Amino acid sequence: MKILATTVLLSLIVLLNTSFHAVRKVVFPVVNRQSSPAEEAGMKQIVNSPLSIDSFPQNYFASPLDISPLTIVGNFGEPRRLHFHTGLDFRTNQEEGHAVFAAADGYISRINVSSVGYGNALYITHPNGYVTAYGHLQRFNAQLMARLRKEQYARENFAVDFNLLPNEIPVKKGDTIALSGNTGGSGGPHLHFEIRDSAERIYNPLLFGYKLKDDMKPLVSFLKFYPLDDLKNKSDGYRTKVFGKLGVYEVTGGIVKLNSTQVGISVNTFDVINLSDAHVGVYNITVFDGNKMIYEYKMDRIAFSDKRDVLSHTDYPIFVNEAHRTFHKCFVEPGNHCPVYCSLENSGVINLSDGKGHDIHLEVSDYAGNVALVKFKLQYDKTSTLFKEKELKYTTRFDYDHENEFSNSDIKMKLPVGCLFDNVFFNFSSALSTELNFFSKIYQLDNSNTQVFDWFDLSIKTENLNPALADKAIVVYKDGTGATTSRGGKFEAGFITTKAREFGTYYVKLDTTLPQIKILNVVPGRNMRTYKKILIKITDNLSGITDFDTYVDGKWVVTDYDAKFSMLTHTLNQNLSVGEHTFKIVVTDERNNRAEVEMKFGM
């Protein structure tokens, strides 16, 4: 059970929040837009009923950790690669093994174990309808570990995701449910913590009374401006540094004159908090043109279906190419339907056609109410050269609100409605390859800076491919940084067809190479009783590992897998008889290349 210090900490958290939440209102956006063909076809809508902070229980959920004071290394909604972050990442002092507690009464409703994502994760459903989630756990308590192992042995699979009945494993607030860890896609030891509702919408945990010590204002470094009139898609925009102190920023000269009548802004900003060196996401951004609010972003709630809208919300090419530097766009592209935008006037686009100087007032705030302010004038000036015009060359135009197709004798693309955030002036090219293991031309589908929301169909014509090896052929995607990923695919009638959701470089290769298996701590005949674990490293050169099985004396046994380290760990049964035993591992990749290693060990 949780010790007294945690109860004291919870009481302090609730006390500190009482006055703050008494006046603060949280309103989820109701955005009125004319329905486009895309929306009529069933795309996501930004329609949320207004809610106030009074809707959220303020003294119901306790701290999931016995660490005081609580601090974080990641917060709710901060932009990450390919998604908005959906919880709080609580610091665990760069250690694993801290007790993790049930935040409130309820029952274990789901156990999910994976080599990626949340790794070892638990979910508790509470009587008030909310669900708390706990991710990257090292291991569960004894009862939950026994339930997990039962399921893994029944399925003969390490990765499992299953639901439990309400009366199967009830828990009380403060019960120890697990130990904190670093499993799955974690970048270091911490506890990922979420609060969801029954519809799987994820809420900012700070809405429920959790409070972190924070008297530090967000930091602002740059602004970027985008032409959204006839110069749109013909200019890379204009970036300028801001200067200031005590949280008040301005631009050099106080005014920016732009050669565009319709302009969008993005702001490079992040938040800092006490007791942490982490750069985390900001909570709220508002933009005023004079006295009129034209844009508001507020990170209170998000759904899993909206997470990938981060590709549109941020200036993603900068994010990818400049070490995750985050520019929040303060205008909304027409195909971005993420429900984090509250007030919108003309989608946040600033109209400068009157030629007058516009007083722009941009505020960035964190959940604790610390505010950074950026003030400047914005004016249209046709003699300005800040937006450098470039020639717009393209093969065809894709409309964001329609289904789009592109094909020739070598390639076929079909993009359903909802794939694109805005219209795309699509460029296509192909080139012959001199690589021996390439079995198609190299195709350039626009470039990886053009963001795609959802999956589309892609078929590539193969060249010089032996039909006997067709099941070993895969589509390979290469992004702008040179990183490659297998997209798999199925061969039929000279083409390989697959699903993709990135623009960039594609080609076909063969994967006939077996996965690699290296047992790290077993040598033939070694007595392993004192070692207790068998450590194995498994890797694959191209298509990726899809399955592995481990056996002791011919019987399947559970072995834990952490994909980020390519590491398998089998904990030996200490009840094995004295004498010689056999350990066997079989690893299969996505193209069904199968490797096997067998070794004797002693106990």
Q: Please provide the average confidence, as pLDDT, over all residues in the chain.
A: 91
Q: Are residues 188 and 240 in the same domain?
A: no
Q: What is the CATH number of the domain that holds 370?
A: 2.70.50
Q: Are residues 412 and 474 in the same domain?
A: yes
pLDDT band, residue 524 (cuts 50/70/90): confident
Q: What is the CATH number of the domain that holds 153?
A: 2.70.70.10
Of 226, 236, 269, nearest to 378 (Cα)? 226
328 lies in a domain? yes
* Residue 47 confidence (pLDDT) above 70: no
Residue 344 bridge partners (DSSP): 295
pLDDT band, residue 44 (cuts 50/70/90): very low
pLDDT band, residue 11 (cuts 50/70/90): very low
Instruction: Identify the pLDDT of residue 18.
Output: 31
Instruction: Identify the pLDDT of residue 52.
Output: 62
pTM above 0.85, yes or no: yes
Q: Are residues 127 and 202 in the same domain?
A: yes
Q: What is the CATH number of the domain that holds 491?
A: 2.60.220.30
Instruction: Identify the pLDDT of residue 9.
Output: 33
Q: What is the CATH number of the domain that holds 589?
A: 2.60.40.10
What percent of the chain clears pLDDT 90, i.e. is strictly above it?
A: 87
Q: Are residues 372 and 232 in the same domain?
A: yes
* Residue 487 confidence (pLDDT) above 60: yes
Q: Per-residue pLDDT tens for 528-573?
A: 999 999 999 999 999 999 999 999 999 999 999 999 999 999 999 9
Q: Are residues 226 and 373 in the same domain?
A: yes
Beta strands in 488-528 (DSSP E): 490-492, 495-500, 504-510, 516-519
* Residue 24 confidence (pLDDT) above 60: no
Instruction: Identify the pLDDT of residue 39.
Output: 39
Domain boundary residue among 488, 509, 530? 509
| Over residues 133-139, mean pLDDT | 98
Beta strands in 271-423 (DSSP E): 284-289, 292-298, 301-303, 327-329, 341-344, 350-351, 358-365, 371-380, 396-398, 404-407, 411-415
Give the domain range for residue 309: 219-380
391 lies in a domain? no
390 lies in a domain? no
Instruction: Identify the pLDDT of residue 221.
Output: 98
| Over residues 46-72, mean pLDDT | 79
152 lies in a domain? yes
333 lies in a domain? yes
Instruction: Identify the pLDDT of residue 55.
Output: 82
Q: Per-residue pLDDT tens for 331-353?
A: 999 999 998 998 899 999 999 99
Q: Are residues 203 and 115 in the same domain?
A: yes
Q: Per-residue pLDDT tens for 267-303?
A: 999 999 999 999 999 999 999 999 999 999 999 999 9
40 lies in a domain? no
pLDDT band, residue 218 (cuts 50/70/90): very high
pLDDT band, residue 49 (cuts 50/70/90): very low
Kindly state the helix (H) or strand (E) to which residue 425 belongs, with its residue range: strand 424-426
Domain boundary residue among 486, 509, 532? 509
Q: Are residues 302 and 345 in the same domain?
A: yes
Q: Are residues 434 and 488 in the same domain?
A: yes
Instruction: Identify the pLDDT of residue 596.
Output: 98
Q: Are residues 64 and 187 in the same domain?
A: yes
Instruction: Identify the pLDDT of residue 526.
Output: 85
| Over residues 134-151, mean pLDDT | 98
Query: How far apart are the C-alpha atoms of 210 and 566, rounded to whole Å?
Result: 36
Q: Per-residue pLDDT tens for 149-164?
A: 999 999 999 999 999 9
Place of tokens 């449910």: 177
Domain boundary residue among 160, 179, 208? 208
Instruction: Identify the pLDDT of residue 59.
Output: 86
DSSP 81-95: TTEE--SEEEE-TT-
Instruction: Identify the pLDDT of residue 533.
Output: 95
83 residue type, one letter: H
Collect all residues with Cβ–Cβ distance below 8 Å to 11 and sequence separation of at least 6: none
What percent of the chain clears pLDDT 70, i.e. is strictly above it?
A: 91
The Cβ-side half-sphere exposure at 364, using a 13 Å CA radius, reads 29
* Residue 40 confidence (pLDDT) above 60: no
CB contact at 8 A, 582 and 553: yes
* Residue 227 confidence (pLDDT) above 80: yes
More confident residue, 410 or 46: 410
3-state secondary structure of 573: coil
* Residue 37 confidence (pLDDT) above 50: no
Peptide bond into 69 cis (omega under 30): yes
Kindly state the helix (H) or strand (E) to which residue 4 belongs, with its residue range: helix 4-23
Q: Are residues 260 and 362 in the same domain?
A: yes
Of 102, 144, 101, 104, nearest to 120 (Cα)? 144
Q: Are residues 197 and 342 in the same domain?
A: no
- The structural domain count of the chain equals 4
42 lies in a domain? no
* Residue 427 confidence (pLDDT) above 80: yes
The DSSP symbol for 395 reads S
Q: Are residues 157 and 262 in the same domain?
A: no
410 lies in a domain? yes
Query: How far apart are the C-alpha atoms of 515 and 475, rounded to whole Å?
Result: 18
